[in-house]
Structure 1
Amino acid sequence: MFDPRLLRAFTAIVDAGSFTLAAERLHMTQSTISQQLGRLEDAVGAILIERSLRPVEPTATGERLLGYARRLLALQQEAEAAMGDPVGTASIRIGVPEDIFNAAMASTFSDFARRHRNIRLDVTAGLSRDLKRRYRNSDFDIGVFKESQPDPDCRAAFAEPMAWFESIDVPMGLEMAKERAIPIPLVAFQPGGLYREAMFERIEREERRWYVAFAASSLHNVLVAVEAGLGLSLLPVHAAQDYRVRRYAPFGMETPMVVALYSWEGAGAVLELVDAMQATLAARAALFQPHTEPVSIRT
């Protein structure tokens, strides 16, 4: 089954004779429409547009597909009209880290959904590195990721304060901080987690012995393990506020990470949602940086 969005991009390029003009008509960037054509060509297993010609023209395979593409898109429009109610007929795919999808962000999505009943929001929560890889593969239209440095094409970036945490009820004790021979128990994400590597690097710089006492794949499970006294962990300050954990004073604060917002498209309803998400992220950042303006980058 061909993705209608990819077919729409293909027919728009043929009709316009230009990637640039087709992107303008569909309210997306040229790189996005080129990527969508590339995904369709991968699915078909053949080149569909002769890019060296001006204006661009379909290849022989493209001509064969063009008639089917127009019929499929027409059938989709007929089906939408027959249904009578456009609710959920379009989608915006979003990837966010687990702790970014909080009550404030859910409210932002809810407000947007009430204004755009025809759009369905498909939200995936997970680890930043996996989410960003999927975003670069065009699995998401909008992405929020935590990283050391944002890429040049990010739309906004905000500092994410980081600190070491221990249990309030079962503290590690000062003897562990003073006695370097005592191995430090760590609570970590599974391999591939962003905080995991930063935590190990800091412990190595301290020239301390350590071991992983508990590993989990979700932020909630990591925090519950720290709360229970299984070990120390390096975590976002914002995420720890609702758990019985406290900052581990001997290690202090760490270099902040970055929460970066990305979007392939820069117009229409997607841009409206991106702006609303940016405002929510700015408010989140201000809670822990009341005297500092959040870093905001718009492209």
Structure 2
Amino acid sequence: MPLRPTSHSPQVPNPPSLPLLDTDVLRTFVAIAESGSFTRAAEQVFRTPAALSMQIKRLEETLGQALFVREARKVSLTAEGEVLLGFGRRLLKLNEEAVAQFLTPPVEGTVRFGMPDDVGTRVLPGVLAQFARTHPAVQVDVIVGRSVDLQKNIDQGKLDLVLVTDGSLGMEPGRGDVVHSEPLVWVGREGGIAVQRSPLPIALASHGCAWRAMALTALDRAGIAYRIAYTSENSAGQEAAMVADLAIAPFPASLVRSPLRKLERTPRGGPDLPPLGNYQISLIRREGTGPASDALAGYVTEAFRSWRH
């Protein structure tokens, strides 16, 4: 017969409750982490640097961890601070979504959103999932294409919002807001032999792509013989050529993944591969599109900002 507890059975104490993180303190912490300065962060949150210092001190005491390395002119995150930054951003975003759900008037309509294919693989899934939760009455129609075509479409009123790669042939320079910048690097298959060949086989996007122009200009200036071995309308085609070891290619550093690797020089005493520099992504909005388009633009900008960090 199973034993039944009696009034004399020992009581198991409830575990102590963990402290809650204050949203205001988290906002201060994130501002300092992203600006690298108590002074700059104080200007953003409209408080004095001394007040911010006290908030961070209490936060570090609550968590039992040092969150910042304080130097003469800047502050940087400790390993524990980097972990908290990820949690902090997510908690602040969830708080914003929860408040908006009740206090923000419902937004309806359709947003026609265009972007190059390489951009979509990075931020689009997360942006659309989050936007759908907070704006369920807004329909987002996504168009994938070349930057130059996307810019023409927004000028013709066919799109409301576009992401474009700056520097593409035929595009008007300086339009929109820069939301992302990163190095373009030479990439090939790990242990591959394409980089050993002469002339150097390269895989490029179609004519007019900014990556293509940057790569050809760099090779010409370095005096490296090359041949265009593979041309594709999208970055997936370039990636396929590299994985098959048919060629090397200019590629965003953030997209390099196994079995590909970054290349810096040709082997067997050959010349160093020339640096390619940074490329930028800009967000262009069509005037007069309304709150639905503005809201999606905010989510896209925030996604790139969080993704960079």
SS at match of 2:239: helix
Name 1:96's counterpart in structure 2: 115
Is residue 201–residue 246 contact of structure 2 (8 Å, CA) maintained in 1?
yes
Q: How far does the alpha carbon of each residue in 1:71-115 deviate from its partner, in whole angstroms, 9 at most, with x for none?
A: xxxxxxxxxxxxxxxxx9831000111122136422221222233
Correspondence 1:190 to 2:212: no
**Residue identity opposite 2:177 in structure 1:** R
Deviations 1:261-292 (A, max 9, x none): 11124752221211111010112233xxxxxx
Residue in structure 1 matching 2:187, options 156, 165, 175: 165
Cα offset, 1:168, TM superposition: 0.7
Contact 1:227 1:244 in 2 (8 A): yes
Show the counterpart of 1:204: 220
Q: Provide the rounded CA distance (Å) in 2 between the counterparts of 1:109 and 1:263.
A: 17
8 Å CA contact 1:163, 1:252 repeated in 2: no
Identity of aligned residues (%): 18
Unaligned regions of 5+ residues in structure 2, if any? 1-106, 266-272
Task: Map 1:45-84; keep pairs closer than 5 Å.
Answer: none
Over 3 Å counting, the alpha-carbon distance change for 1:208 and 1:103 in structure 2 is closer
Contact map agreement 1:169 1:227 (CA 8 A) in 2: no
Name the SS for the 1:195 alignment partner: helix
Over the residues paired in the alignment, what is the CA RMSD in angstroms? 2.6
TM-score (structure 1 length as normaliser): 0.58
Query: Is 1:246 paired with 2:261?
Result: yes
SS of alignment partner, residue 192 of structure 2: coil
Counterpart secondary structure, 1:99: helix
**How far apart in 1 are the matches of 2:178 and 2:222?**
33
Q: Is the 8 A contact 2:242 2:249 kept in 1?
A: yes
Q: Contact 2:194 / 2:246 at 8 angstroms: preserved in 1?
A: no
Contact 2:214 2:276 in 1 (8 A): no
Query: Equivalent residue for 2:268?
Result: none
Structure-1 separation of matches of 2:203 and 2:177 = 33
Aligned to 1:140, what secondary structure does the other structure show?
coil
Distance 2:255 2:187 in 1: 11
Normalised by the length of structure 2, the TM-score is: 0.56
Write the distance in 2 (CA, Å) between the matches of 1:232 and 1:105: 27
1:270 to 260, 284, 293: 293
- Could you give the per-residue CA deviations for residues 154-192 of structure 1, whole angstroms, max 9, x where no partner exists? 134321210011111413456x5xxxxx31111112223
Helix, strand or coil at the partner of 1:254 = coil
1:139 partnered with 2:154 = no
- The corresponding residue for 1:218 is 234
Q: Deviations over 1:39-77 (max 9, x none)?
A: xxxxxxxxxxxxxxxxxxxxxxxxxxxxxxxxxxxxxxx
Classify 1:169/1:142 alpha carbon distance in 2 versus 1 (closer, same or farther; 3 Å): same
User: SS in structure 1 opposite 2:120?
Assistant: coil
**Residue in 1 that maps onto 2:141:** 122
Shift of the 284–171 alpha-carbon distance from structure 1 to 2, 3 Å rule, reads: farther
> What amino acid does structure 2 have at the position aligned with 1:225?
A
In 2, the alpha carbon distance for the partners of 1:162 and 1:118 equals 38
* Aligned pairs for 1:100-115 within 5 A: 100-102=119-121, 104-115=123-134
Structure 1 runs not aligned, ≥5 long: 1-87, 177-181, 287-299
CA distance in 2, matches of 1:186, 1:240: 16
Change in 2 beyond 3 A, CA 1:200/1:142: same
Q: 2 CA distance for matches of 1:129 and 1:143?
A: 11
Specify the alignment match of 1:256 in structure 2. Answer: 278
Larger RCO (CA within 8 A; separation ≥ 6): 1
Kept in 2: contact 1:155–1:263 (CA 8 A): no
Report the AA paired with residue 131 of structure 1. L
